[in-house]
């Protein structure tokens, strides 16, 4: 049987794809892979290690932090600190950005935005959770990093990826030359290439949205849900509804099977729930590289102008034809939100 290619071998083989000094991206991805293996062990044994449950603290979003959230955050930040390539970390678990000032990092060029453990509400009930990361390069050559170097558009990402801690643990990433998936072989402690050149089907039969909020959705979203539920053999409808409640798991399923995930704006959350820098942008980069589409219902996610670290965005992400259909519904039935979304995308302040 052919020996599977490890993540490390693959990164070295592909590092000529990377426009900067060859070893830099390799070391960054290596560092993230190391932390992923450590977090994987904790996630798999959470029930036995007494690290399930609430930490008794809240993150900047006002969400109760789980002990595993904090543990994962510590592991990724220390792996990046020790690797020496990262100068700034933006994390869902830290109010402000973390400046990496270790001696080894004094010439570091890279900014990493990360959700160390997405879907944490699922931890206690043993449902898949994930890590999401985004890699940017600082614009200034050295010295203190300015905030506008951190608030870069998604199109500026040099790499992005996710780890899904599910029935198996996978690391999926892109550097802008396609998407490749690696499955953790715990017998040798290596991520091995299992899903080369991942492509999302152009259409699918799965729609993924929390229909519990139906009454608060924009009319365009309501109309799209109705469209998914109509009987029509020619277009394989009604579609199937699947909602894991873990962004990474729902999007990963759709990349494999085809489908659409929607977390729209609602009356309570006009900006949506998912965060632009370390959830929407990284997965939008992945999905576009796999042949899919990611928008806020009107604007390409990767073109949205970030104006704060923990900014949220509505997201429609998945198979091209399904997202385009949903965008048509938004255009026809929810034009008023379009103005707000277009304004946000152009970073124009809306006077109250």
Which CB, 119 or 181, lies closer to ligand P6P? 119
Interface with ligand P6P (CB under 6 A), residue from 238, 245, 270, 291: 245
- Applying CB under 6 A, the site for ligand P6P has a residue count of 8
Is 317 strand, coil or helix? strand
Which CB, 191 or 247, lies closer to ligand P6P? 247
Stretch touching ligand P6P by CB under 6 A, among 113-121, 214-222, 296-304, 343-351: 113-121
The count of other CB atoms within 10 Å of the CB of residue 164 is 25
Residues 256 to 275: which contact ligand P6P by CB under 6 A?
273
Radius of gyration from C-alpha coordinates of the chain: 20
Which CB, 158 or 262, lies closer to ligand P6P? 262
Interface with ligand P6P (CB under 6 A), residue from 57, 121, 168, 336: 121
Q: Report d(CA 53, CA 48) in Å as an integer.
A: 12
What DSSP string runs through 85-139?
A: -EEEEEETT-SSPEE---GGGTT--EEEEEEEEETGGGGGGT--EEEEEEEEE-S
Q: Are 312 and 275 in contact (CB under 8 A)?
A: yes
Distance in Å, CB of 102 to ligand P6P, minimum? 30
Which CB, 12 or 269, lies closer to ligand P6P? 269
Q: Are 319 and 253 in contact (CB under 8 A)?
A: no
Q: With binding defined as CB under 6 A, does residue 218 bind ligand P6P? A: no
Distance in Å, CB of 335 to ligand P6P, minimum? 25
Q: Report d(CA 222, CA 245) in Å as an integer.
A: 19
Which CB, 245 or 291, lies closer to ligand P6P? 245
Q: Report d(CA 211, CA 209) in Å as an integer.
A: 6
Q: Are 145 and 20 in contact (CB under 8 A)?
A: no
Residue 90 phi, psi (nearest 5): -105, 120
Distance in Å, CB of 212 to ligand P6P, minimum? 7
Q: With binding defined as CB under 6 A, does residue 247 bind ligand P6P? A: yes
Q: Are 138 and 153 in contact (CB under 8 A)?
A: no
Distance in Å, CB of 210 to ligand P6P, minimum? 4
Residue 221's nearest CA partner among 172, 269, 291, 278 is 269
Residue 140's nearest CA partner among 165, 102, 109, 185 is 109
Q: With binding defined as CB under 6 A, does residue 240 bind ligand P6P? A: no
Q: Report d(CA 131, CA 109) in Å as an integer.
A: 22
Interface with ligand P6P (CB under 6 A), residue from 83, 84, 116, 119: 119
Q: With binding defined as CB under 6 A, does residue 131 bind ligand P6P? A: no
Q: With binding defined as CB under 6 A, does residue 327 bind ligand P6P? A: no
Stretch touching ligand P6P by CB under 6 A, among 6-14, 96-104, 187-195, 245-253: 245-253
Which spans of this chain sit near ligand P6P (rule: CB under 6 A)? 118-119, 121, 210, 245-247, 273
């Amino acid at each position: 049987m052919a020996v599977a290619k490890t993540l490390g071998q693959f990164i070295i083989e592909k590092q000529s794809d990377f426009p900067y000094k060859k070893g830099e991206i390799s070391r960054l991805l290596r560092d993230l892979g190391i932390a992923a293996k450590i977090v994987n062990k904790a996630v798999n044994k959470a029930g036995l290690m007494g690290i399930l449950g609430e930490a008794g603290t809240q993150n900047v979003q006002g969400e109760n932090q789980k002990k595993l959230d904090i543990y994962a955050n510590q592991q990724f930040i220390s792996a990046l600190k020790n690797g020496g390539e990262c100068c700034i970390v933006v994390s869902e678990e830290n109010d402000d950005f973390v400046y990496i000032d270790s001696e080894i990092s004094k010439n570091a060029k890279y900014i990493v935005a990360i959700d160390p453990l997405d879907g944490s509400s699922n931890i206690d009930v043993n449902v898949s959770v994930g890590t999401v990361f985004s890699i940017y390069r600082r614009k200034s050559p050295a010295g203190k990093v300015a905030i506008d170097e951190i608030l870069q558009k998604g199109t500026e990402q040099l790499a992005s990826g996710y780890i899904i801690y599910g029935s198996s643990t996978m690391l999926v990433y892109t550097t802008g030359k396609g998407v490749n998936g690696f499955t953790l072989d715990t017998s040798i402690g290596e991520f091995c290439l299992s899903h080369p050149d991942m492509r999302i089907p152009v259409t699918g039969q799965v729609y993924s949205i929390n229909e519990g909020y139906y009454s608060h959705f924009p009319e365009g979203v309501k109309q799209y849900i109705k469209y998914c539920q109509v009987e029509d053999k020619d277009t394989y409808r009604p579609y199937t509804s699947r909602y894991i409640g873990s962004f990474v798991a729902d999007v990963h399923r759709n990349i494999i099977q085809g489908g659409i995930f929607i977390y729209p704006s609602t009356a309570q959350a006009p900006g949506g729930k998912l965060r632009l820098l370390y959830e929407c942008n990284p997965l939008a980069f992945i999905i576009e590289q796999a042949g899919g589409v990611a928008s806020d219902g009107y604007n390409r996610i990767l073109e949205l102008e970030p104006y704060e670290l923990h900014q949220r965005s509505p997201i429609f992400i998945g198979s091209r034809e399904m997202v385009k259909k949903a965008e048509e519904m938004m255009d026809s039935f929810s034009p008023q939100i379009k103005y707000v979304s277009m304004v946000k995308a152009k970073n124009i302040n809306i006077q109250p």
